[in-house]
Amino acid sequence: MTAAAVEVVELVKRYPKRPDNAVDGISFAVDRGEVFGLLGPNGAGKSTTIGILTTRVRLTSGTARVSGVDVATHPVAARARLAVVPQRTNLDRALTARQNLVFHAAYHGVPVAERGQRADEMLEQFGLGDRGGDKVDNYSGGMAQRLLIARAMMHAPEVLFLDEPSTGLDPQARLFVWDRIRDLRSRGVTVVLTTHDMDEAAALADRVGIVDHGKVLALDTPDALTRSLPGSTTLDLTVEYAAADTAEAVIGALGEIPGVENVERVTSEGADVPEPAGSSDRERSVRVRLYLTGEASALVAPVTAVLATREARLTALGLGEPSLEDVFISLTGRDLR
């Protein structure tokens, strides 16, 4: 029996009639009691990996173990040790909320005497104490998500898999779900979650695996990942350049400054919207992010000097530490999926 709660070795999943492997040789291990985040763009292979670990997807090659149980050869034993909170609600709509919990416990062989009591405890804990008798059809998205987690915990699994646990939740529900996940960790439950929400990964995960195109690109604590990013600090600028100048030339000049490792043009809503003819000032504006090797504040003077020689005007300035999002983008690129 291995010590790891989840162990994945050289995992490959190939769907028939697809040119690429959905999962292409992923390996990682999750310690008992750890919260592990699988981070990646849509279609990166996160959900397929979770699908294999939760016995719903057949692996093509490699090994996947949950609590020491090989999920490919002993799926039934694995199911007793794991629980899943799916991306989309799959609550039993013929039943009330409390009955959803009780029947789940029954499927898993929880003794009759304990089912009801445990269901009531769970409803209370997940803030649904007074809504246990409601049909789940009447539940809001946030309530359904809480009930899904409560249901998953009914048979006291050793490993809980959450597929994008806070997608579509309002901020209050999201914070509540995060608190419950932290609770679970403090009780020794291993949590594996997938997300493309950087804040969520940074807030919850002890370690993060960044996945893209079916491969693990990086795997470490969120802190270590951000420290590892080339250019450990950033400088965000908004520049209005002279009529004779171009955005590309400005970016080129900024990249020449010693201490600047990389310059990235930032496009967000508004920045690229063409202005009506005549208001050319707005058009000649560019937002950039400089990735630096040293202190951000030390670069402010050289940057303003370079801009002054080009008769460009600095209209906004921000100093920044890199975030997990920067790591993510630097590893997975900017292409839309």
Partner 1 sequence: MSGSIALTATGPRRTAQAFLALLWRDVFVTGRELVAFLAQVILQPLFLLFVFGKVLGDLGYTQDNFAQVLLPGVIAFTAFLTALQNTAFPLVIDFSFTKEIEDRLLAPLPTWLVAVEKIVFSTMRALVAAVLMFPLGWWVLGSVSITWGAVPAVALFLVLGSLIGAAVGLTIGTLVTASKINLVFAIVLTPLLFTGSTQFPWTSLTDLRWFQVVCAFNPLTYVSEGMRAEMIPEVGHIAPWVCTLALLGFLAVFTAVGVKGFLRRAID
* Binding residues for partner 1 (CB under 8 A): 15, 51, 54-58, 75-77, 79-80, 83-84, 86, 88, 90-95, 103-104, 106-111, 114, 118, 121-122, 125, 151, 153, 155-156, 158, 183-184, 187-189
**Structural tokens at position 304:** 């303003």
Cβ closer to partner 1: 183 or 295?
183
Cβ closer to partner 1: 153 or 193?
153
Cβ closer to partner 1: 79 or 287?
79
Residues in the chain, total = 337
The nearest distance, CB 153 to partner 1, in angstroms, is 6
Instruction: Report the distance separating Cα 104 and Cα 90, nearest Å.
Output: 12
Helix segments in the chain, DSSP class H:
46-53, 75-81, 97-107, 112-125, 141-153, 171-186, 198-204, 222-228, 247-256, 280-283, 300-309, 324-332
Task: Tell the residue number behind the tokens 């959450």, with chain if given.
Answer: 162
Instruction: Report the distance separating Cα 21 and Cα 214, nearest Å.
Output: 7
The nearest distance, CB 83 to partner 1, in angstroms, is 8
The nearest distance, CB 110 to partner 1, in angstroms, is 6
The nearest distance, CB 126 to partner 1, in angstroms, is 10
The nearest distance, CB 207 to partner 1, in angstroms, is 22
Instruction: Please check whether residue 212 is in contact with residue 42, taking contact to mean a CB–CB distance below 8 angstroms.
Output: no
The nearest distance, CB 148 to partner 1, in angstroms, is 9
Q: From edge to edge, which strands make up the β-sheet containing 61-66?
A: 23-30, 6-13, 61-66, 69-70
The nearest distance, CB 116 to partner 1, in angstroms, is 13
SS3 236: strand
Cβ closer to partner 1: 15 or 266?
15
Instruction: Report the distance separating Cα 251 and Cα 254, nearest Å.
Output: 5
Cβ closer to partner 1: 46 or 284?
46
**Residue 58 phi, psi dihedral angles, 5° rounding:** -85, 130
Cβ closer to partner 1: 112 or 301?
112
Sequential DSSP letters for 181-227? HHHHHHTT-EEEEEES-HHHHHHH-SEEEEEETTEEEEEE-HHHHHH
Task: Tell me which residue of 288, 286, 313, 305 sits closest to 235, measured CA to CA.
Answer: 288
Cβ closer to partner 1: 99 or 232?
99
**Structural tokens at position 150:** 């409560």
**Structural tokens at position 102:** 């009780």
Cβ closer to partner 1: 151 or 287?
151
Exposure string of 72-89, with b = 16+ CB inside 10 Å and e = fewer, is: beeeeebbebbbbbbeeb
The nearest distance, CB 60 to partner 1, in angstroms, is 11
